[in-house]
Structure 1
Amino acid sequence: MRAAGTPLITPTIALALLAGVCGCLALPIAPEVPLSCVLAIAGLVLTARFAERRWIGAVLLGAGLAGLHAAYALDIQLPATPAQQEAVLVGRIADLPGTEPRRTAFVFDVDAGELVAGHQVRLAWYSDHGRTAPALHAGERWRLAVRLRAPRGLRNPGGSDGEMHAFADRVAATGYVLGGDRIGAAQGLQGWRDAETARITAAIRAPGERFIRALALGDTRGLSDADWTVLRAGGLTHLIAISGFHVGMVAGAFALLVRLLWWLVPGLGRRVPARIASALVGLVAATGYAAASGFSLPTVRTVLMIAVVAFAQLSRRAIGMAQALAVAAVAMLLVDPLSVLSAGFWLSYAGVAWLLWCMPRSGSSAVRDLLKAQGVATVGLLPLTVVLFGQASAAGPVANLVAVPWWSLVVAPLSVAGVALDAVHPPAARAAWRAAAWCFDIAWPLFERLGSTPLSLWRLPEASPFAVALALIGAGWCLMPRGTPGKALALVLWLPLLWPDLHAPAPGDVEATGIDVGQGLSVLIRTHDHALLYDMGPAVPDGFDAGERSVVPVLHARGIARLDRMVVSHADMDHVGGLPTVRREVPSADLQAPPGSGVPGSRPCVAGQSWRWDGVRFAFLNPPPDLPYVANDSSCVLRIESAHGTVLLTGDISHMVESRLVADDPASVRADIVFVAHHGSRHSSDEAFVRATGAREAVFSTGHANRFHHPNDDVVARWAASGARLWNTADTGAVTLRLEAGGPHAFAWRARHGRLWDATRRPGANAGLSYEGD
């Protein structure tokens, strides 16, 4: 039994509950619902009745709850087959729509309709083919004709996991709008947020207007890629949207106002004690401000902590900040265990936990506390920042010393004051917003200059969980009280995180990674000391860019800061679209493309050219020197011959070029690994060519359920009949193949990093496709 006076919720219980949730979500498949129910009930009994086993009960409770939530999130998702389905939906726009040049993206709460009634879907309304997407506003009701599909995303090292985000947000489907009618005006909280952002935009005629909207209402739609680059380089992204600090600031300001009112009117204290009134008003103010932000995770965490303190005041019980943090974490995990899949969860709770452990309780000056808090946050959160975002900001500590007091104590209060005043005195609200924009604009150039310094943003390779654990231990050791022995040695524990093993091939070996770019191609080739990128994937003007979404994250995850050469097979957008982004983010010593292709800054690739890197020979087999540019058939065909085998990159060549290569020199196309031409189109993979390669591994680079129906069934059968093992990036995610002394070694990113939300694990997800995992 639980001893009298012993708190039911302690930091240990919170950590145990978190361990159970994380353990369940790390499984490759979701537990069956009956098992999750048993775990949850057993956990409740142990936690409530047996003090000495409460932590075991918390672990079981966390695992059971996470299993139930996971089962629900997966059950509401649209089936994987058929790949697309049309439906008519009636519902409400659930959040501020994101407007781009070619489309408007939004979340739709479905009230009635086919397939997904009662759930959320993510939709895009495109402006193309002479049609223009209408102006959409949060809170409006619409009847929409849509085309839906199960949530599906690209999977690459270092890349964002779209399937995980859809799973965590309980998104039932994604799709796009075919047409629709507005059937109701904007209403509710989201309608108010949309209208308020429009009033801020109308009131401010200054560059900082977009940031005031972010600080006042959590509306970051106006921030450009350049803005986010500056914010990331300065380690300032946690400040620009409504954060937990801002919520606490609002609650504290209203609590002080109540104290002042009670001091001016002493009679109020005889009805309600000042400490209780200030706690309740602070909680209400914090909740209202969190609502204005759309209840983002950091704001919910802070509201929960304030609620814990407020109810402690009501019950006349003292509660420490550590226990308040534990209660807030437990409340969050009980309500939404899938919140652990967001970066905000870890950064929010870890940041407060570090400060509670390391900051002095009293007797320090405000300046010293600010400096120490920044140091604690920098050291303590660096391991999480690296593992969550693959980067660290060397300029962050300096930028935050200025931004934290200026933005949080000057700009944000003025922005929030404008929102509060807008309901009672609009001219005063406009004055507050303009003052906030002026204060922001005078400081922003400083952060732009800091962000442009060479060491402002430090990209780090992908780290192992072991390296992250060591770095967290090292951070704790560094932050121990003065006099703790061996603190300098703690820096050694950071080495596996900051300078990880890049697993470069041995001299004479070669590694080829087919990057998951959707319907397109991009292949990273690594030798011992060199890296070559063959194609950069597709891009759509003002839309999806595989260079940004897939290729650059893979290069950063592999620790590649500079490419030795880039090769554009030919100038079709599904191969060259990502080039501008890759060029901007990762410089290259050389760029080659077919003669006459028009790729700017390139020199020609011509059959007969060859070079050697680290004992590996590279040679172009196509195009011939005298061939005019003819798109697909001018593709640069690259042969990579190592001590242990050969890789053949074929671009989009057709039967005609394949037949010529076999006729001219059959030995030149002999290869262990072949990246199949033209994504497995029926116009490529001639039977004689397939037989001549003798490939052991055949890789198709395609988009899931693409409109070209690549790879063609006959082509797949042809390569399978030749004895090759088949890979399709649409199913495997990125696929890495190595030619080394022990023979070819290969693995698929989805198979190696499989999670219970993985789209390919749904029944029927790969129907009709031939694919072998590792």
Structure 2
Amino acid sequence: MVVDRISSPLLGPACAAALVIGALACVLLPALPPLWASAPAAAVAALGWVLRWRGRAAAALLFGLAWTCCHGYWALQAQLPAGAVAQDVLVRGQVVDLPKQAPGYTRFEFRVDASDAIPTLRGKRLQVLWHAPRGGPADAGTDQRHRLHAGADWQLSLRVRPPRSRINPGGFDGERHALLRGLAASGNVRDAHTTRQLRPAHGLPAWRERTSAAIARQIAHPSARFIQALALGDTRGLSDIDWAQLRALGLTHLIAISGFHVGLVAGFAALLCSVLWRSWPGLARFWPRPQAAACAAAVAAVGYAVVAGSELPTVRTALMIAVVALARVVRRPVTVAQGLALAALAMLLPAPLSVLSAGFWLSFGGVLWLLWCLPQGRPKGGAAMLRGALAGQGVASVALLPLAVALFGGTARLGPLVNLPVIPLWSLLVVPLALLGTALEALRSGAGQWPWRAAAWVFDASWQLMQPLAEHPQAMWWLAQGPAWALPAALLGVFWWLLPRGAGAVLAGSLLCLPLLWPARSAPQQGELELVVHDVGQGTAVLLRTAHHALWYDVGPPAGSEGEERMLLPTLRALGQVPPARVMISHDHLDHSGNLAALRRQLPGLQVLAPRGSAIASAGTCQHGLRWQWDGVDFQVLHPPAAFPAAGKGADNEASCVLRVAGTHGAVLLPGDIGRQGEQALLQGAADALRADVVLVPHHGSGGSSTGGWVEAVAPQLALVSAGHQNRFGHPKRDVVQRWQAAGAEVLSTAESGAIRVWLGAQGLQLREQRIHAARWWDAAGRARSAAILSPIEQAAVGPEG
């Protein structure tokens, strides 16, 4: 009996928390333990979990760690091998989600049912990109993308490759996304002539797309895109600007299908069932009303979660409702905490990698904080309900702040205040109307028009009032990345804050939150220079930082649409760097200047320098003789001279702006895409100024540049290549790399290293490869580079931040 009192319940909150901690420990590892050790450990830990003894919770923790490791291995084995080269393959299968149509491409997930060339793809999911055909009107008839619908079977000619992401500080981790979504590979449609539809759209995905189209058609108003998101979880119509405004208002959790929506559907189903049972009392002879209502709520919740796309918050709520319904059926009382624990177990046991999702932590974390902080029981009276709503909003705002900062890099300043009126308005009026319209439309075509229009009218009236707040420059509070231990410390600080009065929480909690909410920002000192070569694929984007200034040299290919820049600005925020006021474009090619339009929309006062004759509007001239100093660092343009052929006259690459940046502790040379002609011009006119400690290899390492004389004149310690992984040009060329290495340079490429940070400071030349610094076990390239011998520069130092 003593053992019974001290052991944790088999499926209780303690064991659920231990399982979550074990799974989290696994996903934070830089490399997975071997499978031969993980599988037996999971079996032994499962036995220890089932047995009733003092260490049951510890066994659940070990099981979570080992079981997640096993799933990690299985998920990686389901993908194409990390080092595999791109292959052309003909596949047949089904479009399993709602295709996202954009002006130049269509993106969708595709389940492979048959693949002759790569049989292992059968049954796997692919992320497919279908670009618009090139060639203008003559090819207009060959563009079949607009016939692509969810639920349709297609034969596609694809070039497939393993999932791989661009890795930048603060950037999106596409490899983690692929692991979480179960994507085996990414693919591009290659041959439109062998691509054809095998079967029209059918099933649940087709119904979702038809209903979404009905909303757009019957509302015929810009707010239709929000009603599509609220009713069906279809966010394809939301632009980058929409998401930025929602983020600035702290409302992103409301616009997509949330757990509250599932609760509304479940409550409505339970109410209908109760009304039916009260209308026909004889039904209670076959099935008691409370059990019937609970089951109706569970069925409706699970069904709606599936219809809405099975996003994690909806699944969590549906599982909790199902647990409560099951308890009602077997007449066993279940508290909310027990229901939350059972929902976590039901989610993690079959899919422990769910802990990789931000939604998992925000969903379960929010409910957990509310359970701990707020009194249980139903409030009586309007004043008590208002106090409860205000307290809940306050707890959620404070408690979830560290998670929001750690997961998204910032939070909305006015989020708590905006949520107070918006949550009841949207959740109790807009969402029910949107769901009612969907239900009526399912019964009869056209019946959902009036509820959808009413929902759109209410939504639009509130949205118009809030947009000025969202567009304020200070609406978002962006924070630099803190150290790894800052989040646990901040969570402990919040816990201390929310303790009962008299616990001395204010000062202690604030101190624990400081490392996350006020992180130290490392900036160069006077005369020092920092260089960040962004990982932008086949293109160039370089950030130069001095003590109080910054400059972008090229901005890479297009990475955003409709106003939201997604590649360079997240890196700035992660570094705590104020956006540069000046950009130098080496030459007007898309791989160097394509992202400029998106940057200008977000940074209207940006000053641009470009070669003479470029088509960039309002750009100053970049040519030989231009020179300035920032914080003891000298910036000098070496090329092109005024007499050089202007860009746009067949000499775009050769007319690239060549920038030399020299600080107290070394120099950097950025030559754009110059080739032999530009290199010879520099050797003849400015050979003495070419020597540098760090060089960006010209033209991404092409065979038409980096001639022997040029390499000898520069003689760097470090040569950096900005190129895409397995790019079609074969950059950098092997002989080019060998020339730089023969000159004594360490050669690194963003294709393998991710973003590369270089410091030229008092401690000498230091560097950091982002794939090594942020290595995780799902990043094969990062693991390979971590296992390799460090470069001579990295052996000397790994950067000022450790």
TM-score of the two chains, using structure 1 as the length reference: 0.95
Is the CA contact (8 Å cut-off) linking 1:163 and 1:759 kept in structure 2?
Answer: no
Paired letter, 2:362: L
CA–CA separation in structure 1 for the residues paired with 2:786 and 2:101: 31
User: Does residue 569 of structure 2 align to residue 567 of structure 1?
Assistant: no
Deviation, 1:662, is 2.7
Per-residue CA deviation, residues 550-570 of structure 1 (Å, 9 max, x unaligned), is: 212111211223314221111
Per-residue CA deviation, residues 450-470 of structure 1 (Å, 9 max, x unaligned), is: 212333222222222222222
Partner secondary structure for residue 54 of structure 2: helix
- The match for 2:644 is 627
Deviation, 1:277, is 1.2
Which of 168, 171, 176 is matched with 2:183 structurally? 171
Q: Closer, same or farther in 2 for the Cα pair 1:764/1:24, shift >3 Å? A: closer
Gap regions ≥5 residues in structure 1: none
Q: Closer, same or farther in 2 for the Cα pair 1:702/1:274, shift >3 Å? A: same
Which of 129, 133, 152 is matched with 1:140 structurally? 152
Partner secondary structure for residue 524 of structure 2: coil
- The match for 2:800 is none
Deviation, 1:262, is 2.8
Per-residue CA deviation, residues 13-65 of structure 1 (Å, 9 max, x unaligned), is: 22211121122222223333222211210110111114311122112211221
Q: Closer, same or farther in 2 for the Cα pair 1:449/1:628, shift >3 Å? A: same
CA–CA separation in structure 1 for the residues paired with 2:35 and 2:732: 37
Deviation, 1:647, is 0.9
CA–CA separation in structure 1 for the residues paired with 2:279 and 2:688: 94
Is the CA contact (8 Å cut-off) linking 1:610 and 1:618 kept in structure 2?
Answer: yes
Q: How do 1:102-501 and structure 2 match up within 5 A? A: 102-114=104-116, 115=118, 116-129=121-134, 130=139, 131-132=142-143, 133-177=145-189, 178-179=191-192, 180-362=195-377, 363=379, 365-501=384-520
Q: Closer, same or farther in 2 for the Cα pair 1:213/1:590, shift >3 Å? A: closer
Paired letter, 2:127: R
Farther-moved stretch of structure 1 (670-679 vs 586-595): 586-595
Farther-moved stretch of structure 1 (29-38 vs 422-431): 422-431
TM-score of the two chains, using structure 2 as the length reference: 0.92
Gap regions ≥5 residues in structure 2: 796-802
Deviation, 1:673, is 0.6
Is the CA contact (8 Å cut-off) linking 1:731 and 1:771 kept in structure 2?
Answer: no
CA–CA separation in structure 2 for the residues paired with 1:423 and 1:492: 54
- The match for 2:799 is none
Q: Closer, same or farther in 2 for the Cα pair 1:454/1:134, shift >3 Å? A: closer
- The match for 2:677 is 656
Deviation, 1:748, is 0.3
CA–CA separation in structure 1 for the residues paired with 2:236 and 2:91: 26
Paired letter, 2:414: A
User: Does residue 591 of structure 2 align to residue 590 of structure 1?
Assistant: no
Farther-moved stretch of structure 1 (370-379 vs 621-630): 621-630
User: Does residue 743 of structure 2 align to residue 743 of structure 1?
Assistant: no
Which of 700, 709, 731 is matched with 1:679 structurally? 700
Paired letter, 2:595: G
CA–CA separation in structure 1 for the residues paired with 2:694 and 2:726: 25
Per-residue CA deviation, residues 334-387 of structure 1 (Å, 9 max, x unaligned), is: 111111111111111111111111122244622111111111111111111111
Which of 79, 83, 86 is matched with 1:77 structurally? 79
Deviation, 1:487, is 2.0
Paired letter, 2:497: C
- The match for 1:580 is 597
Farther-moved stretch of structure 1 (744-753 vs 221-230): 221-230
CA–CA separation in structure 2 for the residues paired with 1:455 and 1:135: 43
Deviation, 1:3, is 2.1
Deviation, 1:586, is 4.0
Is the CA contact (8 Å cut-off) linking 1:247 and 1:302 kept in structure 2?
Answer: yes
- The number of residue pairs the alignment matches comes to 770
Q: Closer, same or farther in 2 for the Cα pair 1:63/1:489, shift >3 Å? A: closer
CA–CA separation in structure 2 for the residues paired with 1:84 and 1:762: 21
Paired letter, 2:100: G
CA–CA separation in structure 1 for the residues paired with 2:60 and 2:213: 46
Deviation, 1:646, is 0.9
CA-atom RMSD, angstroms? 2.4
CA–CA separation in structure 2 for the residues paired with 1:198 and 1:575: 38
Paired letter, 2:643: D
Q: Closer, same or farther in 2 for the Cα pair 1:766/1:95, shift >3 Å? A: farther
Is the CA contact (8 Å cut-off) linking 1:81 and 1:764 kept in structure 2?
Answer: no
Farther-moved stretch of structure 1 (130-139 vs 685-694): 130-139
Is the CA contact (8 Å cut-off) linking 2:152 and 2:200 kept in structure 1?
Answer: yes
Paired letter, 1:3: D
Farther-moved stretch of structure 1 (438-447 vs 265-274): 265-274
CA–CA separation in structure 1 for the residues paired with 2:585 and 2:246: 32
Farther-moved stretch of structure 1 (309-318 vs 362-371): 362-371
CA–CA separation in structure 2 for the residues paired with 1:648 and 1:659: 16
Deviation, 1:541, is 9.4
Partner secondary structure for residue 158 of structure 2: strand
Paired letter, 1:276: Q
CA–CA separation in structure 2 for the residues paired with 1:162 and 1:184: 31
Deviation, 1:605, is 2.1
Per-residue CA deviation, residues 657-712 of structure 1 (Å, 9 max, x unaligned), is: 22232333433111111111111111111111111212111000001111111111
Is the CA contact (8 Å cut-off) linking 2:775 and 2:783 kept in structure 1?
Answer: no
Partner secondary structure for residue 775 of structure 2: coil
Paired letter, 1:583: R
Farther-moved stretch of structure 1 (401-410 vs 361-370): 361-370
CA–CA separation in structure 2 for the residues paired with 1:624 and 1:66: 60
Per-residue CA deviation, residues 478-499 of structure 1 (Å, 9 max, x unaligned), is: 2223343242542233322222
Which of 613, 621, 629 is matched with 1:612 structurally? 629
Which of 88, 97, 100 is matched with 2:99 structurally? 97
Farther-moved stretch of structure 1 (52-61 vs 661-670): 661-670
Per-residue CA deviation, residues 426-450 of structure 1 (Å, 9 max, x unaligned), is: 4432222222222212211022122
Paired letter, 2:225: R
CA–CA separation in structure 2 for the residues paired with 1:717 and 1:6: 63
Is the CA contact (8 Å cut-off) linking 1:399 and 1:450 kept in structure 2?
Answer: no
Per-residue CA deviation, residues 387-426 of structure 1 (Å, 9 max, x unaligned), is: 1111210121122112211111111111111222223344
- The match for 1:509 is 528
Deviation, 1:187, is 2.0
Paired letter, 2:697: V
CA–CA separation in structure 1 for the residues paired with 2:15 and 2:84: 44
Is the CA contact (8 Å cut-off) linking 2:8 and 2:56 kept in structure 1?
Answer: no
User: Does residue 552 of structure 2 align to residue 533 of structure 1?
Assistant: yes
Is the CA contact (8 Å cut-off) linking 1:563 and 1:586 kept in structure 2?
Answer: no
Deviation, 1:765, is 14
Paired letter, 1:128: P
CA–CA separation in structure 1 for the residues paired with 2:207 and 2:607: 53
CA–CA separation in structure 1 for the residues paired with 2:254 and 2:279: 35
Farther-moved stretch of structure 1 (390-399 vs 619-628): 619-628
Farther-moved stretch of structure 1 (35-44 vs 153-162): 35-44
Farther-moved stretch of structure 1 (555-564 vs 225-234): 555-564
Paired letter, 2:130: W
Q: Closer, same or farther in 2 for the Cα pair 1:584/1:495, shift >3 Å? A: farther
